[in-house]
Amino acid sequence: MLPMGCEHRLNVRSTAEMTVGDLARLKTVLESSGAIGRYEWESRPKRGGLIFRFVPLFLLYMLMECRKTTYRGIVKNLSDDDCISLGLTDAGGGPKRPSAATLNEFVNKRLPCIIGDIGNEIVSAIIGMSGKLIITIDSTPVQASRYNRDADYNPYYEIRMDKCHILMVNGHPLFMIQSSGNAGDNPFAEPLIRMLSGCDIGGKEIEIYVDGGYDAFLTYAVAYMVTGTVMMCNYGPDAVHSGADDEKIRDTYARMWKTKGYDPHKKNDIDFMLRFLYANGKEELTGRYLRDRSMDLDKDGAGRPSTRFVCETMHRSMKRWIELSIFRIRKATKILRMRCRFLCVQFLSMLFTDYLEA
């Protein structure tokens, strides 16, 4: 999938409802998807039957989510111009509407077949849009009905809810893990960060910002092992150094001279020693050192982006673009439907320049 060209992107982020014209900007990006192309070729009708193409149906599904309506409602209110703009046409170029059942079957059966492959292409496209990556991690509540006994009641938000833990790059959502409404934030930081391991981030300038809920030694260690960057955090007012300085790292490294991989010539290479210690059971010491470095690098927090502003702004935008909640969703399809909605907001975020470029 090709990165979305600047000529097709909007310069100002908007929380207004996405229009058919806005969504049509994504058609070229979707049609360049190798995953979609392979799927359509492998699932083509064997006897020359006529089916709706994947891209127009996906754009129609996105329009349904943006208008916060149902399968039947979106098909019923689809105009001829909307059909043509989305690519829902017959052989002669005239408008051709799918049935509500066709759209339902697409969302619940066809889209899940390649949702992971499309997601991977989006991640590559977003990372390729910028030479500098500012990574943020935060969670956002996903509201449920007050009668939904399967969803936890969260006393802070005073609602029944799930949580979506989201890793973003330059304000674009990359990865999401859904959890119960009362789950802690930090346990999901490590799996989110490790998802970056399969991405091509080499050679890019990287910064990582999180809030105080992720202030844990192992989180610092994992973030550094994956990205080579010291994670920055909004520390509490009583935060203090742990005493893990350069000398502590060298001393611990020197005492492990019998361990496989030890190199006596690397005693001045902090990066090598940190990775060696992490790989040999010293994860906490590695995290302590990195946390102390993080505090030294940002003693007063001056000049760094407000991570809360970036995360809260994007979460608010996502929930205004589509209904990012678990209202009126069956428990059996909740995870899949939320994954489909997250895919929608990933594409919608690509309509705008990221906040570093704007």
DSSP element (H, E) containing 173: strand 172-180
DSSP 352: B
Q: In this predicted structure, what is the pLDDT of residue 306?
A: 54
Q: What is the pLDDT of residues 10-59, one digit of tens each?
A: 555 566 677 898 888 899 889 999 999 999 998 887 766 557 899 999 99
Encode pLDDT of 204-254 as tens digits.
899 999 988 899 999 999 999 999 999 998 877 778 888 899 999 999 999
**Domain ranges, ordered by start, for the chain:** 6-127, 132-297
Report yes or no: 246 and 270 within 8 Å, Cβ to Cβ: yes
Spell out a b/e string for 311-348, using b for 16 or more CB atoms within 10 Å of the CB, else e. Answer: beebbebbbebbbbbbeebeeeebebbbbbbbbbbbbb
Residue 6 has a pLDDT of 47
Q: How far apart are CA 138 and CA 133, in angstroms?
A: 16
User: What CA–CA distance (Å, rounded) separates 283 from 272?
Assistant: 14
Q: What is the pTM of this model?
A: 0.89
What are residue 280's phi and psi, to 5 degrees?
Answer: -120, 40
Note the pLDDT of residue 151: 94
Would you state the pLDDT for residue 328?
A: 85
* pLDDT tens-digit profile, the chain (358 residues): 656 554 455 555 566 677 898 888 899 889 999 999 999 998 887 766 557 899 999 999 999 999 999 999 999 999 999 999 999 998 888 999 999 999 999 999 999 999 999 999 999 988 988 788 999 999 999 999 999 999 999 999 999 999 999 999 988 899 999 999 999 999 999 999 999 998 888 888 999 999 888 999 999 999 999 999 999 988 777 788 888 999 999 999 999 999 999 999 999 999 999 999 999 999 999 999 999 999 988 765 544 545 556 677 778 888 888 888 998 888 888 999 999 999 999 998 888 755 444 3
* Burial class, 26, CB count within 10 angstroms (exposed 0-12 / middle 13-18 / buried 19+): buried
Q: How far is 97 from 66, CA to CA, in rounded Å? A: 18
Question: DSSP character for 89?
Answer: B
Q: Using only the alpha carbons of the chain, give its radius of gyration.
A: 23
Measuring CA to CA, which residue among 187, 277, 262, 189 is closest to residue 227? 189
Q: How far apart are CA 265 and CA 287, in angstroms?
A: 23
- Which residue reads 């802690």 in tokens? 184
Q: Which residues contact 340 (CB under 8 A, 6 or more apart)?
A: 61, 107, 111, 112, 115
Angle at 23 (CA atoms; ends 18, 25), nearest 5 degrees? 130
